Amino acid sequence: MARVFAFLLVLFLSSAALADPSPAQIGRLAAVSGAVSYYPSGGAPAAEPAVNTPLTAGNRIATAARAHATVDIAAGRFYLDGDSAMTIGALGPGIASITLDRGAVILHILPGGAGQVFVIQTPRGALRADQPGYFEVERMAETGTVSISALEGGAQFADTTVLPPGARATVAPDQTPVLAAAIEDDFLRRVAAEVEESGENKLEAPKYVSAQTTGFHELLRHGLWALTEQHGWVWEPQVLSDWAPFQDGRWVELSPWGRTWIDNAPWGFATAHYGRWVEVNERWAWVPDNAVRPGTAPAVVGVFGSKDQNGGWVPLGPEEPSVSGAPVIVNTVRVIDKPDPPKIINNTTVNTTTNVTTVVKPARQPSLVVIPSFVPSPPPAPPPSPVPSAPSNLTGLGAGGAPMQGGVAFPGQ
């Protein structure tokens, strides 16, 4: 027992030394179609644009012609058009900022997002919106003109121009905004068809998880909520009974988190970066942050092994200690109390570099994944820009403080 404790203590200290503070808010790369590039920082080369990749300040997404990408930040979905690029700006509690570098983007603020402030920066001013709706921003490369449309819900542009639902502001260089009616374009019609097909336009505001949990809407579409006596409301994915967390995916090195889990499931972002996993009636269930603790993490797991040797991990429950913000979190309690070696029941190769092994322990069925040696961390990301100030009226950006409602119907509604 003393030997086990000493080994774990060494691993705990090495894990704590790798710790990096986690941002208060994170985004995710939600979907890609065609040639899409992901840049971890301004001077970094392009990396694989994998779905569920975490995004933070300084990250950049660029699309080629006829390619598209979708980025989620809390209750905001950013649809990036072809031949376009956006850079993630400052992210903080209740506020998210991006810069449209070129092309066009449509922002959908999901139900439950009222009060969250979303900012789209352009050379002619910034769009600010804080209520559910659809908003389009476009930069014309040839003329330098910027157009901003409030398709549903109201918004504010350049701190002084109020955009009621159905309005469009066009700003040429060195000119004042010209207001007109919003118009349909091919990009809008494509996004509307995607929204209709996915059922995104029929989602309700989340009841058991915060709307600031990036990826919360995927939970509504891929699982069920259940009330438990010990943990309150928990979420169960629609998976086979022998499924376990942190099996279908991979670890990557991402700044500022370090070693970070990228889950392959469409709903796997929220469950990998917020909350904890527990077993309820012999099935895995996810406990959201409001029942655990706030903040984000690369994956809250207990790790076996060291950074220089092959190792494995199991999910930590709400009651189990962790190193806050660490890219590798060690569970000393369970291993000391239950040091018996696991019984291996199967071994399956999921790709050329990672073997997945499921193990069984007394009174618990965790997943143990065997991995290759750790790889060096990438260079640190540039410091985030200052968080932009929020509009004074956070209950609606209408004139005189009156919330804006209604407006033109978004195609597909």
Domain annotation for the chain: domains and CATH numbers? 2-19+214-370 (no CATH), 27-203 (2.60.120.1440)
pLDDT of residue 326: 37
pLDDT of residue 253: 83
* pLDDT grade for 257, boundaries at 50, 70 and 90: confident
pLDDT of residue 327: 35
The least confident of 37-51, 287-301, 306-320, 377-391 is: 377-391
Going by C-alpha positions, the residue among 274, 290, 283 that lies closest to residue 224 is 283
3-state secondary structure of 201: helix
pLDDT of residue 254: 82
> Tokens 């139900």 identify what position?
111
pLDDT of residue 402: 37
Report which of residues 173 and 399 the model is more confident about.
173
What is the Cα–Cα distance from 203 to 227, expressed in whole angstroms? 21
Report which of residues 336 and 181 the model is more confident about.
181
What is the Cα–Cα distance from 182 to 170, expressed in whole angstroms? 10
* pLDDT grade for 201, boundaries at 50, 70 and 90: confident
DSSP state of 23: P
pLDDT of residue 345: 34
pLDDT of residue 236: 95
Average pLDDT, the chain: 74
Averaged pLDDT, 362-385: 39
The least confident of 1-10, 19-28, 143-152, 315-324 is: 1-10
**Per-residue pLDDT tens over the stretch 261-306:** 899 999 999 999 898 898 888 889 999 876 555 556 666 676 665 5
What is the Cα–Cα distance from 284 to 243, expressed in whole angstroms? 8
| pTM of the full structure | 0.76
pLDDT over 90, % of the chain: 46
**Per-residue pLDDT tens over the stretch 46-60:** 888 899 999 999 999
Distances (CA, A) of 248 to 80, 252, 353, 361, 373: 27, 13, 13, 20, 19
DSSP codes joined into one string, 314-341: EEPPTTS---TT-SS---HHHHHH--SP
**Per-residue pLDDT tens over the stretch 127-145:** 999 999 999 999 998 899 9
In this predicted structure, the answer to whether residue 388 has a pLDDT above a threshold of 60 is no
Would you give the end-to-end CA distance of the chain in angstroms?
Answer: 62
In this predicted structure, the answer to whether residue 394 has a pLDDT above a threshold of 90 is no
- Bridge partners (DSSP) of residue 368 are 357
DSSP codes joined into one string, 284-305: EEEEPGGGS-SS--S--EEEES
What is the Cα–Cα distance from 169 to 105, expressed in whole angstroms? 15
**Per-residue pLDDT tens over the stretch 149-199:** 999 999 999 888 899 999 999 999 988 999 999 988 999 999 999 998 888
What is the Cα–Cα distance from 285 to 292, expressed in whole angstroms? 13
pLDDT of residue 362: 33
Length of the chain: 413
Strands 223-228, 232-237: parallel, antiparallel or unpaired by DSSP?
A: antiparallel
* pLDDT grade for 23, boundaries at 50, 70 and 90: low
pLDDT of residue 247: 87
pLDDT of residue 320: 66
pLDDT of residue 145: 96
**Per-residue pLDDT tens over the stretch 85-125:** 999 999 988 899 999 999 999 999 999 999 999 999 999 99
pLDDT of residue 290: 67
